[in-house]
Amino acid sequence: MHRPLADEPTRLAATEVWLIRHGESTGNRDGVLQGQEDHPLSPFGHEQCKRLADRLATTRFSALYSSDLTRATETARYLSERWGVETQIDSRLREIHVGDWSGLPNAEIAQRFPEEWQRWQDRDPTLKRGGGESYADAQLRVTMALTQIAKNHPAERIAIVMHGGVMRAYVASLLALDLRLIWHFSMMNTSICKVRPFAQAMGGSRPRLGRIDSLNDHAHLMGLRPGGATPAV
């Protein structure tokens, strides 16, 4: 159903996109790098999702999208059941692919792939970890996907459940930030990032593609333990 945001002035009548990171997964809990390896939510992740669904119970959304990875679809299910809307699955919203690093803890990665690990510590955005994607690759993929999704919902509010690494890469794209800067902000499990993609890029030497209304909003997790930030991917 098309539900325009009638209270928005014309000059800001862009799609309001709520990016939501999935709840804590078993991979997050166990401290391994997941990438596109499939991990379900942990018990604590389910508790986070219940809090998220309670918080957003009365917020009106036109559509709900999710990555096809289990930790995202399980998170989206809490919202889908609460809102009575169908989840639209899109594999382009997956986390960055980390190849042979998938499922490994940092200590083992550093031991098995020392040269790549050093490049990773230097935050090289062109590094294809384990033969997977670079952050630049993943940024292009997810930016194209989210741009298309937003265009399909003009002047509406939509929710998209996805992953910390690609969320940060997309935010960098909207603000024309160097990818090396994305490690300076966090995306906690079930945190919300509200963005408004521009219909066309704003001018300048590094054109901005949108604006950020909130970042890493996890107020619904206050008092919930165990908690804290978990690895982005």
Q: Helix, strand, coil proportions of the chain in percent (round to 5)?
A: 40, 15, 40
Of residues 213 and 209, more confidently modeled:
213
Lowest-confidence region among 46-60, 105-119, 171-185: 171-185
Provide the annotated active-site residues. 22, 95
pLDDT tier at 225 (50, 70, 90 boundaries)? confident
Q: Average of pLDDT values for 220-232?
A: 70
* Between residues 160 and 5, the one the model is more confident about: 160
How far is residue 214's CA from residue 179's CA, in Å, rounded to a whole number?
19
Quote the pLDDT of residue 206.
53
Pick the closest to residue 61 from 194, 165, 230 (CA basis). Answer: 194
- Bridge partners of 33, per DSSP, are 104
Q: Which domains does the chain have, with CATH numbers?
A: 10-221 (3.40.50.1240)
Report pLDDT digits (tens) over 192-203: 999 998 765 555
The structure's pTM equals 0.88
Strands (E), 44-98: 63-66, 87-89
**Strand intervals (E) in 118-209:** 157-162, 192-197
Instruction: Answer positive or negative: Cα dihedral of 98, 100, 103, 107.
Output: negative
Q: How far apart are CA 16 and CA 197, in angstroms?
A: 8
Q: What is the pLDDT of residue 208?
A: 62
Cα dihedral 6, 11, 15, 18 sign: negative
- Taking only the tens place, the pLDDT of each residue in 147-157 is 999 999 999 99
**Mean pLDDT on 33-60:** 97
Answer for the pair 132, 124: CB distance below 8 angstroms, yes or no. Answer: no
Rounded Cα distance, 133 and 125, in Å:
10
Q: What is the pLDDT of residue 14?
A: 76
